[in-house]
Amino acid sequence: MRVLLVGGAGYIGSHTALAFLDGNHHVGVFDNFSTGDRGNIPEGCRVHEGDIMDGASLREALSQGWDAVVHLAAFKAAGESMERPEKYSRNNITGSLNLITGCTECGITSFILSSSAAVYGEPRYLPIDETHPTNPENYYGYTKLSIEGHLAWYDRLKELKFASLRYFNAAGYDIRGRMRGIERDPANLIPVVMETAVGSREKLLIFGDDYDTKDGTGVRDYIHVTDLADAHVRAAEYLHEHRSSLTVNLGSESGLSVQEILDKAREISGRPIPSVITGRRKGDPAKLVASSAYARELLGWKPEFSDLETIISSTWEV
Ligand code: UD1
């Protein structure tokens, strides 16, 4: 297949590029390099520099005969989306619509969206399956939900088949050690822990130890980025073969606490990693754990590298 990864120079995009190349697919990367890095793009990808907000560069890239587009070009900081909604409206909604309409105009019939567990909001039950009500707690999550809605309409009206992949907490680095890029100015737990381990941050702030969880700290479902990347390839192949849209959760189905992550990072790195308990971060649920039964059933997907040890060691070794 010929696959264009929009936002392919980012953290998940570059790992997804590796997975498609490993599967002998032809890969293009379209990126504006605002947060992604050229150095992240694996060899063998054709690079198109451009922006989803710029019709001319987008049209030029989309008209190169792609079988599928994977859309990973979104801002993703949930907290920032509450402070600067315009930034998220513009890029995540208007930009995504430019991309979707560009695809139908260029005859592209398969679309893979990097969506998020943030579409669910505060969980009403656990594990969260795809029938769980969607009620985003932050604007970022709403932008993802909104694009899922537009895709459902474009499926009905224009036969654009889509796979919406609702990621839980992406973590880790390429299992074969081929990825060296570190995200710039990360806000997510594991990169922050690692920056503290190497001394570029003074200490880790633990956002609350009074949650109703195993040790009082927040629990999340961490999914290794190599497992996530593999799901994109399976989704593209599924759309190609079955011509039927799907929405699936991608998670490991197990919950890890902030404290467990920190303990394992201290063990693997051999560094002290200073930490201090502070107040809860606004909008953080106590616990999020996925059911990924549907992805297993539909895509034959199974996380292989999402255990705590592999997630932390693949991050530390970078
Ligand atoms: C959020 C979004 C997710 C998005 C991701 C990327 C929601 C529900 N989730 O995930 O969709 O893709 O951001 O930005 O909106 N923590 C600390 N100290 C830190 C950082 C984090 O204690 O310095 C804790 C948090 O309180 C949380 C856990 O670590 O319990 C994970 O946080 P984080 O990595 O930021 O991801 P989420 O907030 O779960």
Could you give the CA distance from residue 63 to residue 66 in angstroms, rounded to a whole number? 8
CB-ligand 1 contact for 258 (6 Å cutoff): yes
- Choosing from 88, 120, 139, 140, the catalytic residue is 140
Number of the ligand 1 atom closest to the C-alpha atom of 190: 34
Could you give the CA distance from residue 16 to residue 232 in angstroms, rounded to a whole number? 7
Q: Is cis: bond before 123, omega within 30 of 0?
A: no
Q: Is the confidence at residue 289, as pLDDT, over 90? A: yes
Could you give the CA distance from residue 254 to residue 141 in angstroms, rounded to a whole number? 22
pLDDT band (50, 70, 90) for residue 181: low
Q: Given 3-state DSSP classes, what are the helix, strand and coil percentages for the chain, each rounded to the nearest 5?
A: 40, 20, 40
Angle at 116 between CA 203 and CA 130, to 5 degrees: 130
Q: Is the confidence at residue 18, as pLDDT, over 90? A: yes
Q: Are strands 161-167 and 169-171 parallel, antiparallel or unpaired?
A: unpaired
CA-based nearest residue to 315, from 193, 172, 188: 172
The residue behind tokens 């490991």 is 252
Q: Is the confidence at residue 287, as pLDDT, over 90? A: yes
Q: Is 140 a catalytic residue?
A: yes
Give pLDDT tens digits for 128-174.
999 999 999 999 999 999 999 999 999 999 999 999 999 999 999 99
Global pTM reads 0.96
Domains, the chain, in order of start with CATH, read: 2-168+223-250 (3.40.50.720), 189-221+253-316 (3.90.25.10)
pLDDT band (50, 70, 90) for residue 47: very high
